[in-house]
Chain A
Amino acid sequence: MTDEITVDHPVHDHPPVGDDDAVAPVHGHGDPAAAPPETPSVAVATQRRLMWWRFRKHHLAVFSGIVVILFYLVVIFADFLAYADPYATDAERSLIPPQPIRCCEAWHPYVYPVTGSRDPVTFERVYQVDTSQKIPVSFFVHGYDYKLFGVFHTDIHLFGVEGSDDALSILGTDPLGRDVYSRLLLATRTSLTIGLVGVALGLVFGVIMGGISGFFGGWVDTWIQRVIEVLNSIPTIPLWLGIAAAIPKTWSVTQVFFAFSIIISFIAWTDLARVVRGRILQVRREDFIVAAELAGSRPRRIIFVHMVPLFTSHIIAATTLAFPAMIIFETALSFLGLGLRPPAISWGVMLQQAQNVEALVLSPWLMVPVIPVIVVILAFNFLGDGLRDAADPYD
């Protein structure tokens, strides 16, 4: 890995190699004299490596890629990073404003305890911060039980207050007294997983339809394109709302999750099908495809050995760009109460509590899921743009 990185500069000064170099290992395209003999990797750089070099030049895309990876680390370690049981309700702790963790008392960060009482006039719950006491916050504490990777039983959490589940509320609590920070992490898991499943299903469907459309052409192609055209001219939200509303109320959280993934995958497939079709049409008349045909290759070999490597990167880029739509869609439908339903936690489900003006003004911290939604959408957009540019040597 390291030796590849050290030799990047001579390469992107050369014009990118042609398409035909992508199908088979490249045999020294450039001037051999230009490459020092001790770095032969330059002369035989594969298409994939060229893409990586091009991609690395987009700093914003690389940064976005890191952000996306961080988000998926949260998906994997959500319970470990949380400190309070996201499902535990407590009427005594309803709508506590965010309490910062302060630094530092005897090398330990600490928080002040919060005591709640009910206002005798308005019956609202009011909270006082007791600055006379300091509760130390420590790392790797024992908290609620969970399963790491869905397998290992454990109760270790990254940080928290030893022996007390409800001393912390760094992003406040919701109307039912559940911790917003811990719920946000679990919501990230749900929302990003559903996006992943939805995109994966949409990808399969899109590649099949786009492949059929592009490879066979003729009336099949015309029909599939018309279907896509019609689907794209329908306002999606009302329609999918109607379909989502038909998911029976008696279904379990898991059943709803999968039904919902299938519904949102229908949104992704049209764009992906167009990308695949466009690429297939583009390469069908290329000389090397004709050569392969004349050499007696079967269609399956032509597609998988000669065509697919050419546009896997395009598919990856299009897939990345399909994520934001999935995430927005899940959030929007759950926000309207027609997507995932409590007890499932997702960004949209959390935002449901911020639906009216009073709640917004009195407890603005309920809006906090807006931030990860926007950050992750931006990250996927930049990453997808970077991948797309890197995948296309002619741009």
Chain B
Amino acid sequence: MPFDIYLNVAVGGLLTGLVYGLMALGLSVIFGVVRVVNFAHGEMMTIAMYIAVTLFSAFHLDPLLMLVPIAAVLFAFGYVLQAGLINAFITRPEHTQFLLLVALAIIIVNVLLILFGPDAQSVQTAYSFDSFQIGPLIVDATKTYAGIAAIVVAGALFLFFRSTRIGTAIRACADNYTGALVVGLDVKHLYALTFGLGAACVGGAGVMLVLIVDVTPSLGPAYTLLAFVIVITGGLGSMPGALIGGVLIGLTEAMAGLLFTPSAKSMFAFAILVLVLLFRPQGIMGKRTAS
């Protein structure tokens, strides 16, 4: 196969991987701070995707324009979820929290199924079939915009955590829960804020992803698992790790789809997960913490 095709597929995978990375970033932020394993992560993204699709088919609003409003909606959803439901479970055993989110995931997927049916829906914008040509490289316009948007949002998030007071406060909670309480931080509020941010991330990723793939309710669980593979591969609690993991998985998926059959690409993701869990459970960028 000519080198061009490999290159194009790889670049496409890389760009898609950036979006995956943003999705995983949300999960990483939530786990890194609130220490909750959000098993409803992909399902939350699917909500954002369906909102984008609905707005597009009803009002022809370009998803990328709707990025901020939809992310805001998901932020609110995440905030309320954490403040209203999950905060009460912080002190409960790990698997109880996990199952709580499993229950939410089941409800979300099937409510979406009832509302929208099982058929795939997609967004066809004016530029859906455009592509850019740079030398031998032919890149889809949708993937390019999505990738750029992902980098911008991720960058904004990094800045938020490094430079703002609230961001620093949130990092303090993550580092030392009791210490944060002792210095007077409203930890429950900060947790809710963080969950909201994680949800906004995944909402944003969903909006970008809707340009690239078709939406069905069953995407939820598939992307939840993918997010876990990425976050564990990149390093739980590491923000750069989530992005690196995302790109890695995006690339692997794309190349596996090219070299083997497309439908087998998730097998590679899972094989990577098993290998990481066994040999480097802290991931590429992670630190060995007492979890």
Q: Do A and B come from one complex?
A: no
| Residues of B that sit less than 8 Å from A by CB | none
- Residues of A whose CB lies within 8 Å of any CB of B are none
